[in-house]
Structure 1
Amino acid sequence: MFRLFYKIKASAEATYNNNNTYKWWAVSALGIGTLTTVGQFGQVNVAMPTIAHYFDSDLSMVHWVFTGNVMAISAVLMPMGRLSDIIGRKTVYLCGLLLFVLATGMCALASNLGSLIAFRVIHGISLGMIEGNQLAIMTCIFPSKERGKALGLHMTLVGAALIVGPLLGGILVDSYGWRAVFYINVPLGLMILIPAFLILDEKRMSQAVPKQTSEGFDFLGACLSSCALLLFLIGMSNPLGLAAIYNVFCLLLALIFVSLFVLWETKTASPMLDMSLFRTPLFSLGVGARTISFITAATVFFLMPFYLQGVVGYTPSKTGLIMITLALGMVLMGPIVGPLSDQLGSRRFTVIGATLSAIGLFVLSRISEDTTLVTLILGISLQSIGSGMFTSPNTNSILSSVPRASYGIAAGFVQLLRTSSTVTGIAIATAIITATMVSLGVDSNLKGLAEGINTDARSAFVGGLRNTYLAMACLQLVAVTMSVMKTQVLSEK
């Protein structure tokens, strides 16, 4: 059996012996993986209100089905990126796909909310192994003059996955229940292993990145960064519902671990994150704008299904159709803005994109129980197109601002920003909505909201939604300012 596989692999290699041909074969293999792994985010997100109702849970607990997953991704992204430099990108990528299949099956069989959250954490580790390599592999196999094209293509694939995910998720939840969104990804995960095994070439992927030694793996830095992230997010969202002093304690511990991490990274010979990168204004401003943009975008992605199903009364299928507009910006902007940023530079696209996102968030901050579908789609579309115009040029500018020797670390950090910012945005949104509902004397349990029978809960939830999106619109203006400052730095150069 294994001999047959290797014969097929040898035959496949002969068809893409040319470097120009190989990069498109490799992108095809990675694209299948991206469509499956990223698509499951949309599927699970549409299923969240149904999961909350099934387990009779409130928002402060059920959000950990999503947050626990993304938090695990954030915790392992940089360590797995470094590990791939040691044992090979293909090895880590394939192991991640195998763990993805196993963890997805475990999620489908979860008997209670606690076990589902635990399995989603394992699921997140697998995605960290996969995502920690996808962007690096894709960027390595394309020459620097085509980097914008590669990043734009990656964003298009992500957008396509986010379109298919909610649509498929809504159909599955309506027809078979929430467990179906996990069951379907088991055979899909097994199917994407085959092209990844046959096509991806370790030697070609390692050409652009110097091979690391095992002594270069920063175990202490990985532990400190993971502990800091976990403590920060637990302190922000308070999943156990303990007193406020518990939140303060966790946040103070997170600050201590961040300080220790920074101190260690400035002293160790092989840092997990090279702190000297932040001395480059283009890098630090790009990172700041990117962090804020993903924080604000996460609130739209996470909260809108609760509004559409719990307040408006749409079915999961219809919710999935509306949520497609969130990904359209990536699909439309990716193949256009990516190549243009190679020719015209990234600065004008990041400023315009960040501004459009701020306008879209402000439109959503005027939401009510009677908001028309046209207004909703307008707000979501503006935010989506803005994000699509901002993301790949921002990534390109960050990676272009660091020396080639630091490229691997920077690429891993860029991926980490997306996931950690998403978790932070969800935690902030959950805290604002929960606080608003409690201040209005309404229980934050979402069962009545999901059943559409509690008008007080609906009104309080919408009030929290308005507060959240208004806060995010103001925060997004900071990202606009950072993007403008970055253009001034470029002009001075």
Structure 2
Amino acid sequence: MRKWLPLTAVSLGAFMLLVDVTIVTVALPDMAQGLHSDFTDLQWVLDAYALALAALLLGAGSLADRFGRRRLYLGGLVLFAAASLACGLAGTAGELIAFRAVQGVGGAAMFATTMALLNTSYQGRERGIAFGVWGAVNGAAAAFGPILGGLLTEQLGWRWIFFINLPVCVLAVAVTLRAVRESRNPQARGLDLPGLVSFTVAAGALTYALIRGAADGWGSTATLARFALSAVALLVFVLVQARGRAPMFDLALLRNPGFTGVLLGGLLLSGAAFSYLVYSSLWLQSVRGLGPVAAGLGLVPMSAAAFVTSAVAGRRLHGAPPRLTIGTGLALIGAGALLQALIGAGSSWPVLVPGLLVTGVGVGLATPAMAAAAMAAVPPQRSGMAGGALNTARQLGNALGIAVLGAVFQAGVVHRLRAGAVAGPQALADALTAGRAGQLLGRAAPDERGALSALVHAAFAAGLRDTFLVSGGLGLLGAVLVLLLVGRPVEPAPAVGFETGCTEPAATPTLR
């Protein structure tokens, strides 16, 4: 079984960094209490990590092509471990957010290389199996995070959701040193610093504008300035990539409608499938009174369905048209979110189960096909760039999804509180969305507690309903775009000077 050790090394790192995208969700109420943080802080604890991943993946992919994918992967593991330790020791919300960003830097170095390492380690049917297993790990990790986070938070405290990364990092480093071969593109050039900076500013300014928009006012000067800064930075990024001598992303790849469709599908998949989990977790714990473990277990249907479907899809659907598997997966993700929109003021966790199951099947169906399709669209020497681009789209989708859905969720809560003629609806909404529903109800006068409890349940249900409706729309939009764009075969350009350690470059399948 030595031939599967590279897959083991890559899967360990991928599982760990993707678990850390969602492992925080069930720990947020405990974090908010321990660090005295508000709703914006909670969003940034999630988004600082996702944004660092999204902003740096393309640059990391370029560095991996030049200096070696194995080398960058190992460096990412070490940095990730150090940042995880710092997160666990953080004393304030600001420190935790900063260390989460550093964690994302290490995660970017790891994630940018995973697909390329698999692409150069396996061929033919073994490559299909490897991507299937990797896809199963991807699908399970993002949804399994809340379960693991709940167990660690309830039994050991929220800081252990970060400490647990340390032994996993050590194991991943050991297996990588033993089994993974080095690969690089000898024609790759240096880091595209202007492109990296402009893309980071564009993504960060847009996310900040979305997170602060409700509090500052969507038409305020500050909010409009942030949107304008994001647009200008994005324009600079495009110009730098078009005219630079060593761009971190070749814009010519976007002329391929199949590759563009895969990127859009990845962006919308993460936004539609995972970004609302933080708000579901707040509802389960803060309003329904579940503990971290119970809240995590309430999301098990998604993780189980994603894992099983990814494993089956990787083995049974190898060679199936990506437009159908990815498109169908996104349609199921949209349908799953819409099923969860049936939530009401008196609902509890069972109302989420059908939708989570459907969403998990969609994630499991789309993920492995998406990875293989992205690699099929480019020549082997561009595998690092293609992997970085797809993973950038997915993490950016998660970061933007958290920001967008957070605005939708909070607006829904505020609207319902105002309809209930409660005093100070905005302040009450801020407290509720920071996970303090139990404290508010506990401090209420006995004769007012019943009416306030009913209003809190109704407000949270309204916010979640709007969130699920938007998520459903994003999933269905992704399905339509994939079916329209990923339709024609793609013949990647022949590989030139690709160092894999093999006598010949591995064959790359075509998109169908």
For the criterion TM > 0.5, the same-fold answer is: yes
| Residues in 2 aligned to 1:369 and 1:122: alpha-carbon distance in whole angstroms | 39
Structure 1 residues 490, 192: CA separation in 2 closer, same or farther (over 3 Å shift)?
closer
TM-superposed CA distance for 1:67, in Å, is 0.8
* Unaligned runs of at least 5 residues, structure 2: 419-424, 442-451, 491-510
Alignment of 1:223 onto 2:202: no
The CA deviation at 1:409 is: 1.5
1:89 corresponds to 2:69: yes
The answer to whether 1:402 aligns with 2:382 is no
> 1:113-141: per-residue Cα shift (whole Å, max 9, x none)?
11111111111111111111122211221
Q: Which residue of structure 2 lines up, in the alignment, with residue 211 of structure 1?
A: 186
For 1:10, the equivalent position in structure 2 comes to none
Q: What is the identity, as a one-letter code, of the residue corresponding to 1:335? A: A
Deviations 1:75-127 (A, max 9, x none): 21111111122222222111111111211111111111111111111111111
- Taking a change above 3 Å as real, the CA distance of residues 222 and 387 of structure 1, as seen in their structure-2 partners, is same
- For these two proteins, the number of residue pairs brought into alignment is 467
Measured after TM superposition, the shift of residue 377 of structure 1 is 0.8
> Does the 8 A contact of 2:143 with 2:274 survive in 1?
no
Q: Give the conservation status (yes or no) of the 8 Å contact 2:284–2:348.
A: no
1:167, 1:233 → 2: CA distance? 27
* Mapping for residues 64-463 of structure 1, pairs under 5 Å: 64-143=44-123, 146-162=126-142, 165-202=145-182, 206=183, 209-213=184-188, 215-238=189-212, 241-242=215-216, 244-439=220-415, 440=418, 441=425, 442-445=428-431, 446-451=434-439, 453=441, 455=453, 456-463=455-462
Q: Distance in 1 between matches of 2:440 and 2:174?
A: 45
Question: So what's the TM-score if we normalise by structure 1?
Answer: 0.88
For residue 401 of structure 1, report the CA deviation from its aligned partner. 2.7
Q: Deviations over 1:295-327 (max 9, x none)?
A: 111233322211211222111011111222222
Amino acid at match of 1:85: D
Indicate how the Cα distance of structure 1 residues 387 and 489 shifts in structure 2: closer, same or farther if over 3 A, else same.
same
Contact 1:148 1:393 in 2 (8 A): no
Distance 1:161 1:391, change over 3 A: closer
Q: 1:351 to 1:443 in 2, by over 3 A?
A: closer
What is the CA distance between 1:71 and its match in structure 2?
0.8
- The separation in 2 between residues aligned to 1:42 and 1:298, in whole angstroms, is 8
1:160 Cα deviation from its structure 2 partner: 4.2
Shift of 1:450: 5.0
**1:346 positional shift:** 1.9
Q: Give the equivalent residue in structure 2 for 1:49.
A: 29
What is the one-letter code of the residue matched to 2:436? G
1:398 Cα deviation (Å)?
3.0
Counterpart position of 2:444: none
The one of 25, 29, 37 aligned to 2:9: 29
- Tell whether the 8 Å contact from 1:60 to 1:434 is kept in structure 2 after alignment: no
Q: Distance in 2 between matches of 1:113 and 1:154?
A: 33
1:394 CA displacement: 2.5
Structure 1 unpaired stretches of 5+: 1-20
- The separation in 2 between residues aligned to 1:232 and 1:211, in whole angstroms, is 35
Q: 1:354 and 1:35 mapped to 2: Cα distance?
A: 22
Q: Is the 8 A contact 1:68 1:121 kept in 2?
A: yes
Contact between 2:5 and 2:175, CA under 8 Å: does it hold in 1? no
1:14-56 alpha-carbon deviations (Å, 9 max, x no partner): xxxxxxx654121122223333333333432221122123233
Query: What is the distance in 2 between the residues matched to 1:490 and 1:87?
Result: 32
> In structure 2, how many angstroms separate the alpha carbons of the residues matched to 1:240 and 1:463?
17
Give distance in 2, aligned partners of 1:397 and 1:199: 26
CA distance in 2, matches of 1:85, 1:92: 9
Whether contact under 8 Å (2:346, 2:457) holds in the other structure is no
Q: Deviations over 1:138-189 (max 9, x none)?
A: 1221225554332211011234434653333212211222112222223332
Counterpart AA for 2:480:
T
The structure-2 alpha-carbon separation of the partners of 1:94 and 1:65, relative to structure 1 and needing over 3 Å to count, comes to same
Q: Which residue of 2 aligns with 1:61?
A: 41
AA paired with 2:295? Answer: T
Deviations along 1:347-387, one digit per CA (max 9) or x if unpaired, are 32223212211211111112123225433111111111112
The structure-2 alpha-carbon separation of the partners of 1:240 and 1:196, relative to structure 1 and needing over 3 Å to count, comes to farther
Task: For 2:236 and 2:145, locate their aligned partners in 1 and report how far apart those are by CA, in whole Å.
Answer: 39
- TM-score scaled by length of structure 2: 0.85
- Residue 171 of structure 2 aligns with an amino acid whose one-letter code is M
Distance (whole Å) between structure 1 residues aligned to residue 230 and residue 144 of structure 2: 37
Q: Cα distance 1:376–1:27, how it changes in 2: closer, same or farther (>3 A)?
A: same
